[in-house]
Amino acid sequence: MSATETAAGVKSPPCRCLRTKNAYGTSPQSAENWLPGMHASSSYWCLLTQGPAGPDEHYVHLTRCGPGRSCYAAPED
Amino acid sequence: MATTKLPSSADALLGAAADAAKPPAGMETVTMPYGVPGYTLHDVQRQVPTTEPPVLPVNADLEYIGKSPKRWDAHAKVSGSGRYTADIQLPGMLYAKFVSSNVPHAKVVSIDTSAAEKVPGVKGVFVIENLLGGARLLNPSLEVSKYPIVRYAGQPIAAVAATQPHIAEEAALLVKVQYDAKPFVVDMEMARQSDAPPVFPGPANQGGSAGGGGGARNVPQTGNIHGPAVHKRGDVEQGFKDADFIVESKYTTQVQVHNALETHGVVADWKPDLLTVWASTQGTASVREELASFFKLPKSQVRVITEFMGGGFGAKFGPGNPGVVAAALSKQTGAPVRLMLDRKEEQLSVGNRPSSDQTLKIGAKKDGTLTAIQLISFGTAGCGTGAGCAGPATNLYQSASLHTEENDVFINAGPAAAFRAPGHPQGAFALEQTIDELAEKLNMQPLEFRDKIDTNPVRRVERQIVRESALWKSRNPVPNADRGPIKRGVGLSQSVWYRHIVMDSAAEVRVHRDGSVEVLSAVQDIGTGIKTVMAQILAEQFGVPPQQVSVKIGDTNYPVGPNSGGSVTTASLTPAVRDAAWQAAQKFLVSVAPALGTTPDDLVLTKGEVHSKSGHMQPISFRRAAAKMDTSEVSAQARRIPDYDPKHYDTYGGVDVAEIEVDTEMGIIHVKQFFAVHDCGRPMNPSQVINQINGGLIQGTSFALYENRLIDPTYGLMVNANLDLYKIAGARDIPKLHVQLVESYIAQSSTDASGIGEAAGIISAAAAIGNAFYNATGVRIRSTPMTPSVVLETLSKAPQRSNA
């Protein structure tokens, strides 16, 4: 994977209820769980609904499940 | 086994300069094999922890690793004694059946379970309710409902548990669901229109900046489109200006359903102090983590067991609705509950490979240098996301510039799930045909062009093997050379996948006084044979045949194992197994040294014998030595340590060649054979690796020619949710498969293994068939599945070739 792919912005941790297969693996490039650059081919689900919609009935995604969403749960909570 | 640690020659060779490279405390420099034997093999040096076992030589110098012993669990599999989730029978167990939506888009007004509850034998009913908590509906115009919005036909709504399966099925039919039906859309092109019914009630033109971290920001949502997710490298506009030749084409691929032989399902047994779940899963750890989080239980009170597992292809992570609902029903009823999906439910609700509609444009200079790659893709993952397919375009070839835009289009269909090399079969189908098309414009042969633009050293070797193969030599470089209606073609495609490892990978190895050895890990065997590989590692360490090693896996009571997805299992776990085996062997030598009248430092365990370095004693067999242990058992547990050179990022893949015959009158493509050349680091068990490649080629052929999820646009229902009308390649459709493995040493771990599941043919099969189709007919086929109607339509629209 090219280095430029890792340039995707990282501002805040995603909701602790967001899940994807990628969250269960790591790249040797970094210790972070979220595999940069692969989000467009990643399928996400919500822990609480076990489906692609969150409790607020909007879709869940790495680019959607951040602070400001009413159902967002920070990892440290 | 060669247990001698290869000496570092750095100090001797480099003198004072070596001081600067002196490893830090706790580390040492070792020399490891690197490259491809017979082609590029050479030594490299790595700094590794001093606790690491000796460097393994290449496979040719090993006794068990790199060989192909019989599958450790072969007898259990073929005799039926292996217990899959559906085989679990517990006292008082109930059988659960989902109640699923029969409409594609609706608000659930009410659910009446009273009739179902009255059926004799029904013990519990569970209704999936909205878990709003503190969340607000994103669209305030929506009235808060007690139940989740239905977004596809087949979405689970409730479940019934009964003493017998047929009672549960009958009772499920009595659950009355009142829907407030909403407009729906199941066609991707229609869903892209501005007036299409919205699948999600988010406001149109919502910016992506509110999203969470870790991913690309500013991915917008416009109606049913999530995207584009834009990735840029260099100046693509300038790249096309710099190009002497440009090829631009559209390609489409269909939705493919996983259809693992074993459906999703669990048996959940909720007890006051422990929730035990038998699960058909690719990740015992993922199931435990999610169930513990969902039910707010300590992980220590959730146990997940996967003794045998019948495939998942990426769709079996976490408990899913079956796991959560079965656990809830077990808690409610006080009895174990089994919930296995049937084939229809499997096809509707637990995942699929998204479709793609790609516009790919590539520019090159006359010498073959790529100046620009641009991919604009749309695809539907149903009511989920994950339809991106830019992986191959981004990672396979060197280009001066790159611009990709990936878009998810929501429709009212079941959500996608990760599916063996997500996005890559779709992306390779377009990319590899476009590369061939560009090669023709450049008057270059496919292998020659790829030599120019692909810098991966292993694939260079693989292309050389292909170049020298009889099949490739038999290829007529002139397209459409055969006269008559049956035309033969040969084409190739490359694949790429990435080295991912999971640090949560651990194993424990025990040595017993009776000379038996065992290895334990929570890792699950998804059918690819990790049990056998683990046995081989212990066999190599202790000199015990693999069949005599006890392998205990698939149980979260054991040390944590990696979830099996993304080709991570072997690369992640085997170093931990070998490290644990090495450390257990050292403890074993400490344990037996007093009885042998020497010190542990004087002893070495190799090839099943304990030797004295000083010649203090004659070699003694491992089993006889074990009898002299001063304790009944020694054990060691090890976890995965980071790759030795984590800054070096490896990819792997292969080159696949397809030979086909096209019946140009009937529109039938007959794939006669594949010649597949692949690498995966050190092949730990070549036979099992080849089996995975065979499976990938079959699955890829099936994707290329047959499989297709069909949804009726009038009712929004999948019309082929079975294995009768959903066509999968059968025995008569499967070509001859010839696989050649390329050993590729990368000096990254104590086993140097990588993965194969993703790169194993599934990525490149359709593209290779596409290129073979062009070689046969002189016409590009740009859509899958390549059914007779697609073939005939493709041929009918093509300009007549002069050499036909």
Note the pLDDT of residue B215: 37
Write the pLDDT tens digit of every residue in B212-263.
333 345 789 999 999 999 999 999 999 999 999 999 999 999 999 999 999 9
Comparing CA positions, the residue from B682, B582, B577, B555 lying closest to residue B640 is B577
Q: How far apart are CA B214 and CA A32, in angstroms?
A: 9
Cβ(B677)–Cβ(B462) under 8 Å?
Answer: yes
CB contact under 8 A, A39 and B132: no
Mind giving me the DSSP string for B609-633? EEEETT--S--EEHHHHHTT-SSSE
Nearest residue, CB atoms, A57 vs list B149, B314, B424:
B149
**Token pair recorded at residue B225:** 């489109």
Cβ(B545)–Cβ(B517) under 8 Å?
Answer: no
3-state helix, strand, coil in chain A (%, to 5): 15, 10, 75
Residue with tokens 């796991």: B323
CB contact under 8 A, A29 and B216: no
Nearest residue, CB atoms, B499 vs list A28, A37, A65:
A28
CB contact under 8 A, B133 and A71: yes
Write the pLDDT tens digit of every residue in B94-123.
999 999 999 999 999 999 999 999 999 999
pLDDT interval class at B734 (50, 70, 90): very high
B206 pLDDT more than 90: no
A33 pLDDT more than 90: no
Set of chain A residues whose Cβ sits within 8 Å of the Cβ of B391: 38, 41
B contact residues 134-173, partner A, Cβ 8 Å cutoff: 134-139, 142, 148-149, 151, 155
B676 pLDDT more than 60: yes
Mean of pLDDT values over B580-608: 97
Q: Which CATH class is domain B456-499+647-797?
A: alpha beta
Note the pLDDT of residue B573: 97
Cβ(B523)–Cβ(B535) under 8 Å?
Answer: no
Residue with tokens 């799930």: B417
pLDDT interval class at B646 (50, 70, 90): confident
CB contact under 8 A, B385 and A68: no
3-state secondary structure of B337: strand
Set of chain A residues whose Cβ sits within 8 Å of the Cβ of B293: 17, 47
Cβ(B402)–Cβ(A10) under 8 Å?
Answer: no
Comparing CA positions, the residue from B726, B724, B719 lying closest to residue B154 is B719
Mind giving me the DSSP string for B102-139? SSSSEEEEEEE-HHHHTSTTEEEEEE-----TT---SS
Report the share of chain B in percent with pLDDT over 70: 94
Cβ(B175)–Cβ(B111) under 8 Å?
Answer: yes
Cβ(B263)–Cβ(B291) under 8 Å?
Answer: no
Note the pLDDT of residue A36: 45
Buried b (16+ CB within 10 A) or exposed e, B417-442: bbbbbbbbbbbbbbbbbbbbbbbbeb
Q: Which CATH class is domain B501-639?
A: alpha beta
| Chain B: residue whose CA lies nearest to A24 | B563
Set of chain B residues whose Cβ sits within 8 Å of the Cβ of A67: 212
Note the pLDDT of residue B130: 82
B contact residues 396-425, partner A, Cβ 8 Å cutoff: 402, 406, 408, 410, 415-418, 422-424
Cβ(B489)–Cβ(B659) under 8 Å?
Answer: yes
Note the pLDDT of residue B98: 98
Note the pLDDT of residue A32: 43
User: For an interface test with A, which of B107, B130, B136, B138 has the most A Cβ atoms less than 10 Å from its Cβ?
Assistant: B138
Cβ(B184)–Cβ(B412) under 8 Å?
Answer: yes
How many C-alpha atoms does B370 have within 13 Å on its Cβ side?
29
Cβ neighbors of B182 (< 8 A, separation 6 or more) are: B105, B106, B107, B197
Q: How far apart are CA B719 and CA B712, in angstroms?
A: 6
**Residue B589 burial (CB count, 10 A):** 21
Q: How far apart are CA B802 and CA B476, in angstroms?
A: 16
Note the pLDDT of residue A38: 63
CB contact under 8 A, B233 and A2: yes
**Residue B194 burial (CB count, 10 A):** 9
| Chain B: residue whose CA lies nearest to A19 | B318
Note the pLDDT of residue B201: 78
Neighbour-count burial of B319, counting CB atoms closer than 10 A to its CB (0-12 exposed, 13-18 middle, 19+ buried): buried
Set of chain B residues whose Cβ sits within 8 Å of the Cβ of A59: 200, 202, 226, 383-385, 410
Mean of pLDDT values over B183-194: 97
Cβ neighbors of B272 (< 8 A, separation 6 or more) are: none
| Chain B: residue whose CA lies nearest to A18 | B212
Nearest residue, CB atoms, B131 vs list A4, A40, A48:
A48
User: For an interface test with B, which of A16, A24, A48, A60 has the most B Cβ atoms less than 10 Å from its Cβ?
Assistant: A24
Cβ(B679)–Cβ(B458) under 8 Å?
Answer: yes
The reply to whether B221-257+352-419 shares the fold of B88-182+262-348 is: yes
Neighbour-count burial of B686, counting CB atoms closer than 10 A to its CB (0-12 exposed, 13-18 middle, 19+ buried): middle
**Token pair recorded at residue B414:** 């079941």
Set of chain B residues whose Cβ sits within 8 Å of the Cβ of A55: 130-133, 135
Q: How far apart are CA B38 and CA B52, in angstroms?
A: 28
Q: Which residue has the higher pLDDT, B130 or B354?
A: B354
CB contact under 8 A, A58 and B201: yes
Set of chain A residues whose Cβ sits within 8 Å of the Cβ of B563: 21, 24-25
Nearest residue, CB atoms, A14 vs list B213, B394, B410:
B213
Report the share of chain B in percent with pLDDT over 90: 89
Note the pLDDT of residue B2: 33
A10 pLDDT more than 90: no
Torsion of CA B62, B64, B66, B68, to 10 degrees: 140
Write the pLDDT tens digit of every residue in B321-336.
999 999 999 999 999 9
CB contact under 8 A, B215 and A44: no
Average pLDDT, chain B: 93
B350 pLDDT more than 80: yes
Tell me the C-alpha to C-alpha distance, in Å, between residue B498 and each of B78, B80, B119, B392, B565.
33, 35, 53, 11, 12
Set of chain B residues whose Cβ sits within 8 Å of the Cβ of A28: 499-501, 642-643, 646, 649, 748
B403 pLDDT more than 90: yes
Note the pLDDT of residue B140: 67
Mean of pLDDT values over B265-285: 97
Mean of pLDDT values over A19-40: 55
| Chain B: residue whose CA lies nearest to A66 | B212
Residue with tokens 């779709």: B426
Q: Where are the alpha helices (DSSP H) in B474-600?
A: 530-542, 569-592
First to last CA, chain A: 33
| Chain B: residue whose CA lies nearest to A68 | B210
For chain A, the residue count is: 77
Dihedral (CA of B765, B784, B259, B306) sign:
positive
Set of chain A residues whose Cβ sits within 8 Å of the Cβ of B151: 52-53
CB contact under 8 A, B410 and A59: yes
CB contact under 8 A, B568 and A68: no
Domain boundaries, chain A: 13-77
pLDDT interval class at A76 (50, 70, 90): low
| Chain A: residue whose CA lies nearest to B214 | A10
Comparing CA positions, the residue from B326, B420, B414 lying closest to residue B96 is B326
Torsion of CA B726, B727, B731, B732, to 10 degrees: 150
Neighbour-count burial of B470, counting CB atoms closer than 10 A to its CB (0-12 exposed, 13-18 middle, 19+ buried): exposed
Nearest residue, CB atoms, B565 vs list A10, A12, A21:
A21
Of the listed ranges B193-207, B482-496, B503-517, the one predicted with least confidence: B193-207
3-state helix, strand, coil in chain B (%, to 5): 30, 25, 45
Q: How far apart are CA B75 and CA B577, in angstroms?
A: 24
B139 pLDDT more than 60: yes
CB contact under 8 A, A57 and B381: no
A77 pLDDT more than 60: no
Tell me the C-alpha to C-alpha distance, in Å, between residue B76 and each of B73, B499, B534, B544.
5, 32, 17, 21
CB contact under 8 A, A26 and B233: no
Q: How far apart are CA B393 and CA B21, in angstroms?
A: 38
Q: How far apart are CA B437 and CA A18, in angstroms?
A: 41
Is the CB of B262 inside 8 Å of chain A's CB atoms?
A: no
Q: How far apart are CA B648 and CA B498, in angstroms?
A: 12
Q: Where are the alpha helices (DSSP H) in B42-90?
A: 74-79
User: For an interface test with B, which of A42, A43, A47, A76 has the most B Cβ atoms less than 10 Å from its Cβ?
Assistant: A43
Q: How far apart are CA B437 and CA B752, in angstroms?
A: 37
Dihedral (CA of B753, A44, A3, A27) sign:
negative
pLDDT interval class at B7 (50, 70, 90): very low
CB contact under 8 A, A62 and B211: yes
Q: How far apart are CA B10 and CA B4, in angstroms?
A: 17
Note the pLDDT of residue B651: 86
B16 pLDDT more than 90: no
Mean of pLDDT values over B729-742: 96
Mean of pLDDT values over B602-630: 96
Cβ(A53)–Cβ(A60) under 8 Å?
Answer: yes
Domain B88-182+262-348 CATH (choose: 3.90.180.10, 3.40.50.300, 3.30.365.10, 3.40.50.720)? 3.30.365.10
Set of chain A residues whose Cβ sits within 8 Å of the Cβ of B351: 43
Please give the model's pTM, rounded to 2 decimal places: 0.94
User: For an interface test with A, which of B385, B424, B455 has the most A Cβ atoms less than 10 Å from its Cβ?
Assistant: B385
Neighbour-count burial of B603, counting CB atoms closer than 10 A to its CB (0-12 exposed, 13-18 middle, 19+ buried): buried
User: For an interface test with B, which of A21, A34, A65 has the most B Cβ atoms less than 10 Å from its Cβ?
Assistant: A21
Tell me the C-alpha to C-alpha distance, in Å, between residue B298 and each of B222, B275, B503.
41, 10, 21
Comparing CA positions, the residue from B776, B796, B711 lying closest to residue B254 is B711
Note the pLDDT of residue A30: 38
Set of chain B residues whose Cβ sits within 8 Å of the Cβ of A64: 208, 210-212
B476 pLDDT more than 80: yes
Read off the amino acid at residue B274: L
Of the listed ranges B539-543, B648-652, B655-659, B758-762, the one predicted with least confidence: B648-652
Domain boundaries, chain B: 88-182+262-348, 221-257+352-419, 456-499+647-797, 501-639
Nearest chain A CA: its distance from B652 CA (Å): 11
The one-character DSSP state at B45 is E
Write the pLDDT tens digit of every residue in B280-335.
999 999 999 999 999 999 999 999 999 999 999 999 999 999 999 999 999 999 99
B641 pLDDT more than 60: yes
Of the listed ranges A48-62, B476-490, B790-804, the one predicted with least confidence: B790-804
Cβ(B272)–Cβ(B555) under 8 Å?
Answer: no
User: Phi and psi of B134, rounded to 5°?
Assistant: -90, 5
CATH number of B221-257+352-419: 3.30.365.10
**Token pair recorded at residue A30:** 């970094």
pLDDT interval class at B169 (50, 70, 90): very high
Nearest chain B CA: its distance from A7 CA (Å): 8
CB contact under 8 A, A43 and B351: yes
Is the CB of B101 inside 8 Å of chain A's CB atoms?
A: no
Average pLDDT, chain A: 72
